[in-house]
Structure 1
């Protein structure tokens, strides 16, 4: 416990690093950060490009609305590509908003995605605050907000960020349920069922939320058996808990089929989707370690390697601290143990570690970094926050201001550096690599960067400006500029005026708009008239092909 001599004047900074300010300060900081992030989303969502997944996802959402609008007779949504394997909750919500939004279709989707990502951050804060304290909650929120992979995907990724948001709120409700075992409130059970249904209505992998809760309940039952001297009391509690939690499943099923009506056409369809995703085919190659490797032939270490290279150093440091203090707690257990909190921490740790460990063992088809595992970032941020919180407490208990500053100053410097890096990458935060990889300059030609083709928006705007300047500042309405896009055509053409026409062959084009994925920009010769660059790395180019 830190003792402060009231006769000695102290600055606010000294009181913060010594842990002497009221814990509610960290709640104020967290709420201020959430509000600031909300404002930032409102100001910057138009800056994000259209990724190559978005057009089909938007069409899927519109087709699902047609299904409901036709009285469940129009089944075209279930023949559209392979999208029927996914739930359409986000896509239907975006399609509904599109009908009333004054913004464009994709701008509406990006704003909605940003707000869903912010909701996931709020869930991370609440869960970290529940299993730790106010300081832990603030640290977790800050670490997740400073994770470029999470923040950069919020606006354009229509599957992985909504799924991550659903999973963290499932974990939060699970932690609340654990606190009230064996008879949690019906409101918690109902809430868990609703959120679980929405998560399953995004991706069938939401069954992991049931597994995580089930594992934590088993831990609770093991403690009951140990304390009461036998399995009979644990068995009676198990029956009571099962009866209490069972109503969550039909609630989840109803919500799921509303968001994913294909699941209702056949009772076994969700099982088919789960088995399909266990070995999902993707007949493309992935740039890894400087070599293009088939996605189904990547080494088992691909996922942990990409996490190690793309997570911010600050978050990695928090995970190291958490691992150290966790090891110490196993070797030298504390005298006073809050068993429920230990279960809650175990629940979050399991959610952070199990998916990665399972991928190491099962070796599924992986690609494009860890975008399909973005849902592990919120629990990882919470585990790292627990590590920093424990480190902070250890330093504050030492009564040494120097040691407290030795922690606070580099932590603050790391936060400022990470904010600057993300601002410099904007709006391509998701291409971030940490210093272990040498930044994105060190990752160039070794790992994938703008695999979504998001930079084509900025390249298209640069082309529009170039042609307008070439014509004295204005393009005539009768003029026609032929464009070939190496990448997803919509990612560029959506941002160009109607005078620009898409052509199917580069020989017919006046200009090339190209991403740099797989060296596509080198396949056609022409004068480079615009480039999209970050930290010296070219993400997209515009070439004049007329000569």
Structure 2
């Protein structure tokens, strides 16, 4: 039977994802190179070399560049997941991409496409919970209009793909819990393996699956046999798929997996982070580090809705609301577990995290789903109003609408520096208390400014941190060759993104700055 409403929903959905894809294809060339991208490129190539040595050693003589890649056995970051990094290395080799600029532009494009798929699965996940395509699509819009997440969807090839795979894992988990079968167990095992092989923290997926299965059995003992059978199938599928997709585990799956898990608990990074106006060792962070970073970098309305949604969920759980269905109970409980277990683990284990809360970006989908619960319940409350029902709904629509427009305006106005978004802080409050462009992406725009101003055949410069050099590699080769990194005493220009140096510099001739919300994220000083 024809349904005009159904057709409209499909057209709006198609339009949204079409516009998102077009935006991504248009914007991906604009971002710089971060601290991590060379390391991640190397990690993928190391695993590729391992595969070549194992299955096609004759290719080593045909591809000379592979000889300079370190072996997997001695590589310092061999324990890093390669779900995304290895396929990219393979694609780079198959396509015959050799220039640095093409290499990193391809990485940025593929990273965005993985995020794009993640947004679609977020739509499916939200639709499972709210049974309303409009609410699900609004959730996707909120996810995309989260400035930091959107920016990092182009260059953060670990944390953002991990977020996407966790969304997929949560979706297949909900499908499995609704209808345990070989099919749902199989797809859940695949998504869990992809997540674990990206970041070891993905082990939270099978853990939460086990918790939900136990609770489902407790609440309905008649399902005992079905859940036990297919949960066993899921575990039997998960282990071999996980190992198969991660070459590092092949030679000694159990011991190496345990080693990776231990390394996650105390990652080998011993630098400081700038937090609350102090340089704090990443090995000794205060308990509130993650919660504070999450709140100050998430649009304020999303956070307000989250706390409202959390209140409604906890009230229903502890009041044993008989009106709540099994599916909604499982879904909301899963969101609570996905959000709070990782935060609690970081706090209790005193884990090493840095660069804001990017290592926990994967909890953001649960945060937003709880925010949607808050919005849904506020909307339902307005139906209980008689005289003021219309005004209540107008207020809600206006509040959310203004928040979305504000986020979009910030993203457009400050492109491509959405990664330094703060929800309610600006100016000195940011400069004096928190890291700014810790990725070092803004160096690209600084280098491009110098190219426009200086026609010298050789441009001598110095920079505060490695991305000042790394970002030359996303420039066309003829421009990259003009830059020469020299000691400060010989440099014509000095560039800084203020990481590990939040204060001012003693150089009087500041010729260029990039500012976002009245705080600097890059300065260029002409020294001579």
Common fold by TM > 0.5: yes
SS of equivalent to 2:433: coil
Question: What is the aligned partner in structure 2 of residue 500 from structure 1?
Answer: 482
Q: Kindly provide the CA deviation profile for residues 474-494 of structure 1, in whole angstroms up to 9, marking residues without a partner as x.
A: x5xxx2222223222443322
Residue 23 to residue 335, structure 1, CA distance change in 2 (3 Å): farther
**Alignment of 1:480 onto 2:483:** no
Question: What is the aligned partner in structure 1 of residue 358 from structure 2?
Answer: 371
Residue 336 to residue 224, structure 1, CA distance change in 2 (3 Å): same
Contact 2:426-2:519 within 8 A present in 1 as well = no
Which piece of structure 1 moves more, 127-136 or 480-489? 480-489
SS of equivalent to 1:199: helix
Post-superposition offset of 1:71: 2.3
Structure 2 gaps of 5+ residues are 58-66
Contact 2:497-2:523 within 8 A present in 1 as well = yes
Residue of structure 2 aligned with 1:37, choices 10, 17, 20: 20
Residue 299 to residue 256, structure 1, CA distance change in 2 (3 Å): same
Q: Kindly provide the CA deviation profile for residues 288-315 of structure 1, in whole angstroms up to 9, marking residues without a partner as x.
A: 1111111112211111111121111121
Question: What is the aligned partner in structure 1 of residue 233 from structure 2?
Answer: 247
**Alignment of 1:527 onto 2:527:** no
Contact 1:121-1:378 within 8 A present in 2 as well = no
SS of equivalent to 2:522: strand
SS of equivalent to 1:70: helix
Which piece of structure 1 moves more, 330-339 or 528-537? 330-339
CA distance in 2: counterparts of 1:80 and 1:153, whole angstroms: 30
CA distance in 2: counterparts of 1:425 and 1:456, whole angstroms: 15
Contact 2:462-2:494 within 8 A present in 1 as well = yes
CA distance in 2: counterparts of 1:101 and 1:520, whole angstroms: 42
Task: Map 1:435-514; keep pairs closer than 5 Å.
Answer: 435=424, 438-439=425-426, 442-468=429-455, 479-488=457-466, 489-494=468-473, 495=475, 497-514=479-496
CA distance in 2: counterparts of 1:335 and 1:493, whole angstroms: 61
**Alignment of 1:176 onto 2:175:** yes
**Alignment of 1:417 onto 2:406:** yes
Contact 1:486-1:515 within 8 A present in 2 as well = yes
Task: Map 1:286-435; keep pairs closer than 5 Å.
Answer: 286-330=273-317, 334-396=321-383, 398=385, 400-435=389-424
CA distance in 2: counterparts of 1:491 and 1:385, whole angstroms: 40
SS of equivalent to 1:296: coil
TM-score by length of 2: 0.88
Contact 1:117-1:165 within 8 A present in 2 as well = yes
Question: What is the aligned partner in structure 1 of residue 105 from structure 2?
Answer: 107
CA distance in 1: counterparts of 2:139 and 2:417, whole angstroms: 23
Post-superposition offset of 1:276: 1.2
* Alignment length (residue pairs): 502
Contact 1:425-1:432 within 8 A present in 2 as well = no
Question: What is the aligned partner in structure 2 of residue 16 from structure 1?
Answer: none
Which piece of structure 1 moves more, 500-509 or 158-167? 500-509
Contact 2:432-2:502 within 8 A present in 1 as well = no
CA distance in 2: counterparts of 1:272 and 1:442, whole angstroms: 41
CA distance in 1: counterparts of 2:417 and 2:483, whole angstroms: 26
Question: What is the aligned partner in structure 2 of residue 86 from structure 1?
Answer: 80
Contact 1:395-1:403 within 8 A present in 2 as well = yes
Q: Kindly provide the CA deviation profile for residues 7-57 of structure 1, in whole angstroms up to 9, marking residues without a partner as x.
A: xxxxxxxxxxxxxx9587566544433322211111111111100100111
Contact 2:460-2:486 within 8 A present in 1 as well = no
Post-superposition offset of 1:164: 1.1
Q: Kindly provide the CA deviation profile for residues 131-155 of structure 1, in whole angstroms up to 9, marking residues without a partner as x.
A: 2122331232122112223212111
Question: What is the aligned partner in structure 2 of residue 125 from structure 1?
Answer: 123
Post-superposition offset of 1:525: 3.4
Post-superposition offset of 1:338: 1.4
Contact 1:30-1:137 within 8 A present in 2 as well = no
Q: Kindly provide the CA deviation profile for residues 388-409 of structure 1, in whole angstroms up to 9, marking residues without a partner as x.
A: 1121222245463222212212
Contact 1:26-1:138 within 8 A present in 2 as well = no
Post-superposition offset of 1:420: 0.9
CA distance in 2: counterparts of 1:509 and 1:373, whole angstroms: 39
SS of equivalent to 1:104: helix
SS of equivalent to 1:189: helix
RMSD of Structure 2 on Structure 1 (CA): 2.5
Post-superposition offset of 1:157: 1.0
Structure 1 gaps of 5+ residues are 1-20, 226-232, 469-474
Q: Kindly provide the CA deviation profile for residues 326-376 of structure 1, in whole angstroms up to 9, marking residues without a partner as x.
A: 244357655533112211221122112221123233322222211100000
